[in-house]
Amino acid sequence: MPGRRPTTIARSRLALTFLAWLFLLLGGPAVATAQAPTAATSDAPLVLVFDLDGAVGPATSEYLRRGLETAAAREAELAVILMDTPGGLDSSTREIIADILASPTPVAVFVTPAGSRAASAGTYILYASHLAAMAPGAHLGAATPVQMGGSNPLMPERREGDDAAGDDAAQPDAMTAKVTNDAVAYIRSLAGLHGRNADWAERAVRRAETLTATEALDQGVIEILTRDLDGLLAAADGRTVMVNGQARVLNTAGAQVETLAPNWRARVLAVITNPNIAYLLMMVGVYGLIFEFTSPGAVGPGAVGAVSLLLGLFALNMLPVDYAGVALMALGVGLLLLEALAPGLGIFGAAGAIALALGSVMLFREAPGFKLSPYVILSTVGLSLAFFVIALRAVAQSTRRAVATGQAALLTAHAVVKSWDGDRGYVHAQGEDWHARSAVPLSPGQPVRIAARDGLTLTVEPENPA
């Protein structure tokens, strides 16, 4: 129909826009924030600076990978990572370390300003760097894998004076031991690359030990203790570092310093990989699709729901997800939907809300900097319960109403005889006059019930047969 074509075109354009945006976000080429290599404006060496502030995650890995690629392309003398992190995801940490080790550009990690930290994942990244520096007042350590956190109530605690047998009894379970030993071997191998203190690194993993900046310098964990970036560059000038197995003397005196900010892709990734945002995207996606299925033709909820669900699943794929939590959330949504469509005295709704809440709590495994806010969980579960119990129940009730138009409604309607002759005549029904027939004689003004329809002829019978 001519009147519907603009709407169809507009919807098609909207869908194409969503698809193009998804392509660029999830797999398309990212636009670099740094300029392409150009002819040097001076003979001064180039130093590129990156800011790692916050939890280490997929966005951090993306940002530093492209930053180090830019540093290599522009033949920078040194890449400096300004670090202040509580830790983060193991997968992202290993990606960053692999990029540092493969970089042809020397990488310095500078834990700054005063009060900052290189905890957990940050300690591993610092050990992987070609040059390690800290500001006075900063600290590092506590590199114990998060999976080891807490105590096992089934194991006795080690006490002073316990004998060897007691020590054996207090050893961690096999899985914890595997995680610990893997982490120890990993950080010791990183320490060996640049001659740093491997024994303390092992204690940071096994005993969660920490060091202040001064202690780190005294124990051979870092090479430079300085207050600012200028002090770092002055102290780094003339030092020899090992880059891909080859000695390289740094020339940072009078260097031209540029700070590279994350590009748009890394910024979007940082937003959607926030556990709270990923969780909300997934829930909006589920509810949008449910609303579209229960009210076909709305288009908007379905389109927004599909995009939100894809973004949420993409983010969850990069986060430490516990699939038992996902299963509980799916069960909770299903029970709430069942309560809306087939009310069960609130049993389904209560069970669904409990399952959704428990699944939300269990959704993400513990990782520094990646936590789901309890306020987000409570708000989402409450809104979900209200949405399903009120909105979807209204939709379900509307589907059970009697048909008000069309042939189905006509066959249950009442009519009044206008004129009659023998077994045929005319009746008035739903505002129209219809040709009708009946097996019994009728009279004008008599109320009748429509029993059947054959084309434009109705079969009627008296409402109150004698």
pLDDT grade, residue 324 (50/70/90)?
confident
pLDDT in the model for residue 195: 92
What are the residues facing 460 on neighbouring strands? 450
397 contact partners, CB below 8 Å, separation of at least 6: none
Q: Quote the CA–CA distance of 229 and 404 in Å, as a whole number.
A: 77
Q: Model pTM greater than 0.85? A: no
What are 37's two structure tokens?
Answer: 């290599």
Q: Torsions phi, psi of 256, nearest 5?
A: -85, 120
The top-level CATH class assigned to 32-262 is alpha beta
Q: Quote the CA–CA distance of 68 and 115 in Å, as a whole number.
A: 26
Q: Does residue 404 register a pLDDT over 80?
A: no
Report the range of poorest mean pLDDT among 132-141, 193-202, 311-320: 311-320
Q: Does 386 or 5 have the greater pLDDT score?
A: 386
pLDDT grade, residue 1 (50/70/90)?
very low
Distances 436 to 32, 46, 117, 138, 422 between C-alpha atoms, Å: 77, 95, 89, 94, 11
Q: Quote the CA–CA distance of 236 and 133 in Å, as a whole number.
A: 10
Most confident segment among 28-37, 134-143, 283-292: 134-143
Q: Does residue 164 register a pLDDT over 70?
A: no
Report the range of poorest mean pLDDT among 109-118, 222-231, 266-275, 295-304: 295-304
Average pLDDT score, the chain: 79
Cross-sheet strand order for the sheet of 107-111: 224-225, 131-134, 107-111, 78-84, 46-53, 256-259
Query: Pairing mode, if any, of strands 107-111 and 131-134?
Result: parallel
pLDDT in the model for residue 288: 80
Q: Torsions phi, psi of 167, nearest 5?
A: -65, -40
Nearest to 131 by CA among 233, 245, 257, 255: 233
Which sequence spans correspond to the domains of the chain? 32-262, 271-399, 406-462
The alpha carbon of 383 is separated from its chain's Cα centroid by a whole number of angstroms, namely 20
Query: Residues 307-318: pLDDT tens digits?
Result: 888 888 888 877
Q: Quote the CA–CA distance of 126 and 131 in Å, as a whole number.
A: 8
pLDDT, mean of residues 151-170: 40
Q: Does residue 24 register a pLDDT over 80?
A: no
Q: Does residue 463 register a pLDDT over 50?
A: yes
Topology, domain 406-462: OB fold (Dihydrolipoamide Acetyltransferase, E2P) (2.40.50)
182 contact partners, CB below 8 Å, separation of at least 6: none
Q: Does 276 or 160 have the greater pLDDT score?
A: 276
Q: Does residue 187 register a pLDDT over 90?
A: yes
Most confident segment among 1-15, 223-237, 255-269, 351-365: 223-237
